[in-house]
Amino acid sequence: MFKPCGPLAGQISVPGDKSISHRALIFSALAVGRSRITGLLEGEDVLATADALRAMGARIEKNDDVWTVHGVGVGGLMQPDQALDMGNSGTSTRLLMGLIASHAISATFVGDASLTKRPMGRVIEPLSAMGADIQARETADHKSCLPLTVRGICPAIPLEYRLPVASAQVKSAILLAGLNTPGITRIIEPVLTRDHSETMLRGFGARIMVETDAEGSRVISLTGEAELQPQRIKVPGDPSSAAFLVVAALIVPGSDIIIENIGINPTRSGLFGILQEMGGDISFLKRRTVGGEPVADIQVRHSALVGVDVPADIAPSMIDEFPILFVAAALASGQTTTSGLHELRVKESDRLSQMAKGLSLLGVVLTEKDDGLVIEGSGGAALSGGRGKAVIETALDHRIAMSFAVAGLATRSGLSIDDIKPVETSFPGFDNLLASLASR
Ligand code: S3P
């Protein structure tokens, strides 16, 4: 049961960034020699990536808080004996498909009920153009889904590819395939998405160039066959996890918290700007750069929020944060509109529909459009929570679970969530951390 509490207070940190953690493990596994990673997210998604890399020959160990990866070198991956179980993780699946595509090995990918419904055509298309043979299950609505088998090819054919959908996973899959491909692999990105792969590849010593063309698209050119040098990596706290606590502090009266060491890369931090525009009292303290990534401590105080129109072009920089933004919008005064969010329908769940269903159960007035929600805020008045009877369905989606855990703090008498377990994929310890802020 998630129910109203007193003011949130205290100084805390959240687990490591999920996107950066996946990439830290994968690039380390491709370096020649031993890399050291601290701050790695030990959530199920990242552990699925680690297990898959182990199955392909990388030695990965953990001692205290330090992860050590003995890389096999680009081109050195071995044939896994068994299917790779990706659990709930789309990022693991799509990035590792790219990695395997340009190695002379094959692998079958399986996953849970949520991952098995997600579209993989977006990576199959460019990786097939590079020469990989990929056989996927075809669904009645013409989606290529898990289980699927990638038969890689070496040497693969370098590709020039314009991303048809704004996706850092697709971009990174192609970059990973390009690492073991002779010549230049080029990606044209009309809409900027998270750039952790580019930053980290540069740090590992790959020859990667990023330019802007005449139309304003980003052009990323990677020279294969790359040699990666082992690194020491400090993973910052995940802004996508911090987001839940930021909104919790904004909506619970009297709250004042500091969340330490959070990545504030502009390709990820769209939510914080929108919340500030809504009147949220959010400050960035001790700004610094760690491993090429901008980081700060974030102070958040309870604020009266007002509704806003969220422009569609900001979506990629807060793509995982819309569920929790909808909770903030439900408590703001006035209307919040969102658009351009088709991608939310193919995340761990259909997030537009799951959020619309759950918020409606709490008495929130909203309209579900094809590509967004329009929400009439309560002006800070407590949500109904169905008098404690509302049971929210999370559909195996960690961010739906955490969004409603936070919404529960602003209900009259609490709400229940059918399955809190998915939170383990990205934010182990979430409920204890939230409870600890409430009890200080
Ligand atoms: C991610 C990219 C995003 C995001 C996901 C992590 C990544 O997905 O939603 O949680 O680490 O590259 P898309 O590439 O599908 O937008």
The tens digit of pLDDT for each residue in 218-229 reads 999 999 999 999
SS3 194: coil
Cα(6) to centroid of ligand 1, in Å? 34
Atom of ligand 1 nearest to the CA of 346: 15
Q: Whose CA is nearest to atom 11 of ligand 1?
A: 19
CA of 185 to the centre of ligand 1 (A): 21
Q: Which residue's CA is the nearest one to ligand 1's atom 5?
A: 91
- pLDDT of 282-341, one tens digit each? 999 999 999 899 999 999 999 999 999 999 999 999 999 999 999 999 999 999 999 999
**For a pocket test of ligand 1, which of 22, 41, 165, 169 has the largest count of ligand atoms closer than 8 A to its C-beta?**
169
Total residues found in the chain within this entry:
440
CA–centroid distance, 298 to ligand 1, in Å, is: 23
Which residue among 49, 91, 198 has the greatest number of ligand 1 atoms within 8 angstroms of its CB, and so is best to mutate?
A: 91
Q: In this model, does residue 349 exceed pLDDT 70? A: yes
389's tokens: 């009877």
**Closest residue CA from atom 13 of ligand 1:** 167
Query: Is residue 137's pLDDT more than 70?
Result: yes
pLDDT at site 1: 86
Q: How high is the pLDDT of residue 275?
A: 99
Sign (positive or negative) of CA dihedral 78, 83, 87, 93: positive
* pTM exceeding the 0.85 threshold for the entire prediction: yes
* Whether the Cβ atoms of residue 193 and residue 169 lie closer than 8 Å to each other: no
Distance of CA 21 from the midpoint of ligand 1 (Å): 13
- Give the DSSP per-residue string, 175-216: HHHHHTSSEEEEEEESS----HHHHHHHHTT-EEEEEE-TTS
Full set of structural domains in the chain with CATH: 9-16+236-439 (3.65.10.10), 18-225 (3.65.10.10)
Q: Count other C-beta atoms under 10 Å from residue 6's C-beta.
A: 12
Tell me the average pLDDT across 399-418. 96
pLDDT over 80 (residue 355): yes
* Dihedral sign of CA atoms 187, 188, 189, 194 in order: positive
Q: How far is the CA of 30 from the centre of ligand 1 (A)?
A: 21
Instruction: Give the pLDDT of residue 386.
Output: 61
pLDDT at 272 over 60: yes
The band of 140, judged by pLDDT with boundaries at 50, 70 and 90, is very high
Beta bridge partners of 267: none
Give the position, in ligand 1's atom list, of the atom nearest the Cα of 95.
Answer: 12
Calpha distance 305→277 (Å, rounded) = 9
State the DSSP string of 23-64. Answer: HHHHHHHHBEEEEEEES---SHHHHHHHHHHHHTT-EEEEET
Q: What is the pLDDT of residue 439?
A: 83
Average pLDDT (417-440) is 95
Give residues (CB < 6 A) around ligand 1. Answer: 19, 91, 167-169, 172, 194, 319-320
Residue 208 has pLDDT above 90, yes or no: yes
Substitution site in 88, 165, 167 for ligand 1 pocket (most atoms within 8 Å of beta carbon): 167
**The predicted structure's pLDDT at residue 147:** 98
Is 112 tagged catalytic? no
Q: What is the pLDDT of residues 360-376, one digit of tens each?
A: 999 999 999 999 999 99
Mean pLDDT, rounded, for 161-172: 98
List residues bridging with 224 in a β-sheet. 183
Active-site hit among 45, 112, 297, 320: 320
Q: Is residue 388 over pLDDT 60?
A: no
Q: How far apart are CA 222 and CA 229, in angstroms?
A: 16
Give 291 or 175, the one with higher predicted confidence. Answer: 175
Task: Identify the pLDDT of residue 387.
Answer: 57
Q: Answer whether residue 142 shows pLDDT above 90.
A: no
From ligand 1's centre to the CA of 193, what distance in Å? 9
Distance of CA 351 to the CA centre of its chain: 14
pLDDT at position 385: 65
In the block, tokens 């969010």 appear at 341
Q: Whose CA is nearest to atom 15 of ligand 1?
A: 167
* CB atoms near residue 144 (< 10 Å): 18
